[in-house]
Amino acid sequence: MDVHVTRSELRGTARAPPSKSYTHRALLAAGYSDGATVESPLISADTRATARAVTAFGGSVAPAGSERGGDGAAAIPGDADAIAVEGFGGRPAVPDDVIDCANSGTTMRLVTAAAALADGTTVLTGDSSLRSRPQGPLLDALGDLGVRAESTRGNGQAPLVVSGPLEGGAVAIPGDVSSQYVTALLMAGAVTDEGVEVELTTDLKSAPYVDITLELLADFGVEATPVDAAGDPLDGAAGAAGFSVPGGQTYEPAGGSYAVPGDFSSISYLLGAGAVAAAPGEAVRIEGARPSAQGDAAIVEIVEEMGADIEWDREAGEIAVERADLSGVTVDVGDTPDLLPTIAALGAVADGDTRIENCEHVRYKETDRVAAMAEELETLGAETTEEPDVLTIHGDASDLTGATVDGRHDHRIVMALSVAALAAEGTTTVRGAEHVDVSFPGFFETMADLGMTVDRD
């Protein structure tokens, strides 16, 4: 699907979708349990993939209040208020068929470790994009723990073959490729017999995503502790030398349910849109923005530093943003890789240079997001400089004009380019716009309600 976005003025109130990161973890955590309800979930292409995996392992998922059983992932409506998960009690069954993770890297990594717990062989695959993403460090770690974990092509990429059962133990893994490897080991390690001790061989990037995992595990009654080089416990994942997870634990949320918070990665597009296109004297208001462990909440401070007028009522979970003349900033995205597309789009509108540093790991997402944003923003008239670990957008040399740009089959690229289109002269066509279904299925409806002039074909 293509969308055609014309420069617009925005006003009104929008609600942020629930967090994709939390929903993935909550669905799998409920799968590890004997049964739990996930309230306020994000129902999207990616989270449906995780729900399918829970079903494949012997659990079931269905809208809360309906009859359980079957492939509930397909039956869950996009506006479901809650999902009832019948878990597999910590030990997944061997799936009857291949698990298709579609385009969801989070699903593949978390489910690969879950598959290692099964007493038999699991095969995992995905679409062409997912089959190009690195899984090698996690496969190596599982192999070191005594599990057969292989890439069928021998290149560290899916399709993957995993044969358990995983009993636990000590393992070393790099922390600078994907924090999802760590999350996968922590979640699976809690239900092993021996527990898992994880040593990081490189500094941990995207530490806030591991903090999300630690927060969610605690809410499900599971202990997992970050430790420093001396083995002493830390309060959070930042600066951790490793993690300790006792075995034999049970996933059991208080009251049998877990509520998913709003998603700050998605909030970033609404916030950015308000900063570049709110009608004069009016604000764009964003509901569902209560504080959590999400590192992407940093977008509020970043946009404010760029010069936007922002008010954040944390208790009410509401942000108000007004249009402003933005100025370039320097941002390190080592812990917040998903913010790069949004920051790049804002940099193309801002005065001066916006320098996005520590971003090499952002090249290993659904697409190379560093190159994608550089190339597509240049199509719109921006000037950029791309280095292996730095992306600079030269706002003073940028003059955005409507053009046809490619969303690269990546939900975040599509939404970020749509934000840039709000400030471009004329109409911008964004190809592959259907990929917003991965994390923000109602994105264009939400933007239209705020006043975006958008047509679809």
CB contact at 8 A, 84 and 73: no
**Was 105 annotated as part of a binding site?**
yes
Q: Which backbone phi and psi does 237 adopt, to 5 degrees?
A: -75, -25
The count of other CB atoms within 10 Å of the CB of residue 227 is 18
Catalytic residue among 335, 338, 353, 437: 338
**Was 7 annotated as part of a binding site?**
no
**Was 355 annotated as part of a binding site?**
no
**Was 126 annotated as part of a binding site?**
no
State the SS3 of the chain.
CCEEEECCCECEEEECCECHHHHHHHHHHHHHCCCEEEECCCCCHHHHHHHHHHHHCCCEEEECCCCCCCCHHHHCCCCCCEEEEECCCCCCCCCCCCEECCCCHHHHHHHHHHHCCCCCEEEEECCCCHHHCCCHHHHHHHHHCCCEEEECCCCCCCCEEEECCCCCEEEEECCCCCHHHHHHHHHHHCCCCCCEEEEECCCCCCHHHHHHHHHHHHHCCCCCEEECCCCCECCCCCCCCEEEECCCCCCCCHHHEEECCECHHHHHHHHHHHHHHECCCCEEEEECCCCCCCHHHHHHHHHHHCCCEEEEECCCCEEEEECCCCECCEEECCCCHHHHHHHHHHHHHCECEEEEECCHHHHHCCCCHHHHHHHHHHHCCCEEEECCCEEEEEHHHCCCECCEEECCCCHHHHHHHHHHHCCCECEEEEECHHHHHHCCCCHHHHHHHHCCEEEEC
Sheet architecture: strand order including 309-313: 12-15, 283-287, 318-322, 309-313
**Was 178 annotated as part of a binding site?**
yes
Q: Which backbone phi and psi does 313 adopt, to 5 degrees?
A: -90, 95
The count of other CB atoms within 10 Å of the CB of residue 223 is 13
**Was 408 annotated as part of a binding site?**
no
Alpha-carbon dihedral sign for residues 91, 149, 147, 212:
negative
Q: Is the bond leading into 159 cis (omega within 30 degrees of zero)?
A: yes
**Was 412 annotated as part of a binding site?**
yes
**Was 205 annotated as part of a binding site?**
no
**Was 369 annotated as part of a binding site?**
yes
**Was 25 annotated as part of a binding site?**
yes
For the record, the structure tokens of 451 come out as: 């006043």
Active site residue 338: yes
**Was 410 annotated as part of a binding site?**
no
Residue positions in the annotated binding site? 20-21, 25, 105, 133, 178-180, 206, 338, 365, 369, 412
Binding-site residues for phosphoenolpyruvate:
20, 105, 133, 180, 369, 412
Instruction: Give me the active site residues, please.
Output: 338
Binding residues for 3-phosphoshikimate: 20-21, 25, 178-180, 206, 338, 365
